[in-house]
Amino acid sequence: MYAAVDLGSNSFRLHIGKHDGEAIRVLKSVREPIRLAAGLDKDGNLTPAAMQAALNCLKNFRTVLAAYKLDAVRVVATSAMRVARNSHAFLPEAELAIGYPIEIISGEEEGRLIYMGVAHAVNLPGERRLVIDIGGGSTELILGRGQEIEKVESFSVGTVKQSLSFFIGGRVDAPSFEAAILSARSHFEDAAPPYHPQFWKQCYGSSGTARTIADIIVKNGLGREVNGQTLSALKQRFIEFGHVSKIDMPGLKPDRASTIIGGLAILIGLVRELDIPLVQPIEAGLRMGVMWDLHLRSTKRDRREQSVQACLQRFHVDERRANRVADDALALYAQTKPATDQYSRHLYWSALLHEMGMVVSHTGYHKHAAYIIENADLPGFTAREQRTMSRLIVAHKGNLRKVAEVLEDPDFAKAIVALRLAVLFMHSRIDIDFTQIKLRFKSRIELEIRREWVAEHPTLSYWLEKEQEQWDEVGVDFAIRTS
């Protein structure tokens, strides 16, 4: 059983589901309209009121989650948390409220998960499709065939900002709507060509915005489909009301009226700019994608593994050296007896990719690799995971002062020493027999190696002395014994 929590810019949502044959069946769904994006002040910070509303919701979600026996839980935050300047300061309190780590995912990762949810729901292996997801703070366009994504982009235009910026004070009129539509089109016009209809067969609207608009159109007799004509008819009906407070239509909850007008402007802008003939709403998206991702990870089909392998090839990494360092680093890490396996996989992936920066320059290659890992689009990875790997990679060589703050985490420090020693032994051309080496790390590092290694590998003593000096600079004693 899996739980997916989506901390969106407009609403916070929770899905609890169970894998059942070819599908994931949703057992529980909760939505709270937090309006996080509307809680950003003029400096781009979340206001105290917005943060308190979020915390209250997260505490409620924690109670819901506690009622189920869950195999895995993933909490993802999207656009509003991505852009909020104080999001990382707020994150620890938010994680404490819900009781799980919160991942602030990139727009591209959000698009990947959205597409995964749609692809599994549609289950047409050869279908070429465009998926559009209009959220509170961003809009994602994803082009793919079957389960495979061909192109994904995230645009910083969402229902909340569009509503607040163009429908001032809740006033709804024709000039405001046309301005909002033109603004939306301006976000998509440069990126539009690859998403035109000749490149796909079906267009799906995966967001709550698209589904709500489709529901309003049908229930108010404006048509049976979502297309340019029915969207324009809905726009005209909204204009006739004149103000969001007066909008009263079947299919539209009162709390959604203030943002659905901005969403409608974006959807009309997309339909016009991309020449979309028909949008098919679908009850699948980010939360279903998160649960499918959790299921695939549990069955050893982790998208992150594919991303790492793609990097190895793209950056021409010597895979023999990479695999050796990765295997040795994990074996050394196990000897230090970390409290949890929290960093094991990230250590392994970091070891595989530690030399990828050589494609830029051999000088400071660890810094180039760390920068690439932290800033690249790596499907399956969160920004936090990429920062973790970036820190491990930059720490594998040179002084440790640059990562002094993360050494306060004992398990992270153990991962660093394991990676540094694995690289050191590889450069010294030592084939490690792990029955002849012992590594301990409690209050200090203790390394015991065979005396013959020092005689047979002349550079080993030099590298080990340098290693002792580097750890001494950050206040960690490194004792070496030979036997």
**Are 282 and 135 part of one and the same domain?**
yes
Residue 296 resides in a domain: no
CATH value at residue 336: 1.10.3210.10
Q: What is the pLDDT of residue 174?
A: 96
Q: Which two tokens stand for residue 151?
A: 């192109």
**Are 147 and 101 part of one and the same domain?**
no
Query: What band does 132 get if pLDDT is binned at 50, 70 and 90?
Result: very high
Among 227, 255, 289, the domain boundary falls at 289
Per-residue pLDDT, averaged over 132-146, amounts to 94
Per-residue pLDDT, averaged over 167-179, amounts to 95
Query: Mean pLDDT, the chain, as a whole number?
Result: 92
Amino acid sitting at position 471 = W
Query: 375-413, pLDDT tens digit by residue?
Result: 988 888 888 889 999 999 999 999 999 999 999 999 999
- Overall number of domains in the chain: 3
Q: What is the pLDDT of residue 455?
A: 78
**Are 260 and 314 part of one and the same domain?**
no
Q: What is the pLDDT of residue 418?
A: 95
Per-residue pLDDT, averaged over 278-298, amounts to 92
Q: What is the pLDDT of residue 469?
A: 94
pLDDT at 147 over 90: no
Residue 226 main-chain phi, psi, to 5 deg: -100, 105
**Are 317 and 393 part of one and the same domain?**
yes
Quick one: angle between helices 410-427 and 460-473, nearest 10? 160
Among 289, 313, 332, the domain boundary falls at 289
CA-CA distance, 132 to 115, in Å (whole number)?
A: 9
**Are 225 and 206 part of one and the same domain?**
yes
**Are 334 and 449 part of one and the same domain?**
yes
Per-residue pLDDT, averaged over 272-277, amounts to 96
Q: What is the pLDDT of residue 125?
A: 87
Among 233, 268, 289, the domain boundary falls at 289
Residue 137 resides in a domain: yes
**Are 113 and 92 part of one and the same domain?**
no
Q: What is the pLDDT of residue 209?
A: 93
Query: What band does 451 get if pLDDT is binned at 50, 70 and 90?
Result: confident
CATH value at residue 142: 3.30.420.150
Q: What is the pLDDT of residue 356?
A: 95
**Are 311 and 231 part of one and the same domain?**
no
**Are 153 and 62 part of one and the same domain?**
no
Residue 28 resides in a domain: yes
Q: What is the pLDDT of residue 445?
A: 95
Residue 19: helix, strand or coil by DSSP? strand
Residue 294 resides in a domain: no
Q: What is the pLDDT of residue 389?
A: 96
Per-residue pLDDT, averaged over 233-260, amounts to 92
Residue 295 resides in a domain: no
CA-CA distance, 290 to 286, in Å (whole number)?
A: 6
Per-residue pLDDT, averaged over 83-104, amounts to 94
CA-CA distance, 466 to 477, in Å (whole number)?
A: 13
Residue 444 resides in a domain: yes
**Are 233 and 254 part of one and the same domain?**
yes
Q: What is the pLDDT of residue 341?
A: 87
Alpha carbon of 290 to those of 113, 281, 308, 435: distances in Å? Answer: 6, 19, 20, 42
Beta bridge partners of residue 25, listed in sequence order: 18
Q: What is the pLDDT of residue 326?
A: 95
Kindly state the percentage of the chain with pLDDT values over 70: 100
Query: 176-196, pLDDT tens digit by residue?
Result: 999 999 999 999 999 999 999
Residue 67: helix, strand or coil by DSSP? coil
Q: What is the pLDDT of residue 412?
A: 96
pLDDT at 21 over 90: no
Q: What is the pLDDT of residue 303?
A: 82
The model's pTM: 0.77
**Are 275 and 390 part of one and the same domain?**
no
pLDDT at 432 over 80: no
pLDDT at 22 over 90: no
CA angle centred on 144, ends 143 and 148, rounded to 5°:
140
CATH value at residue 38: 3.30.420.40
Residue 297 resides in a domain: no
Quick one: angle between helices 383-395 and 410-427, nearest 10? 50
Query: 291-349, pLDDT tens digit by residue?
Result: 999 998 887 778 888 899 999 999 999 999 999 999 999 999 999 999 988 899 999 99
**Are 285 and 308 part of one and the same domain?**
no
In three state form, how does the secondary structure of 162-230 look?
HHHHHCHHHECCHHHHHHHHHHHHHHHCCCCHHHCHHHCCEEEECCHHHHHHHHHHHHCCCCCCECHHH
Give the residue numbers spanning the domain of 337.
302-482
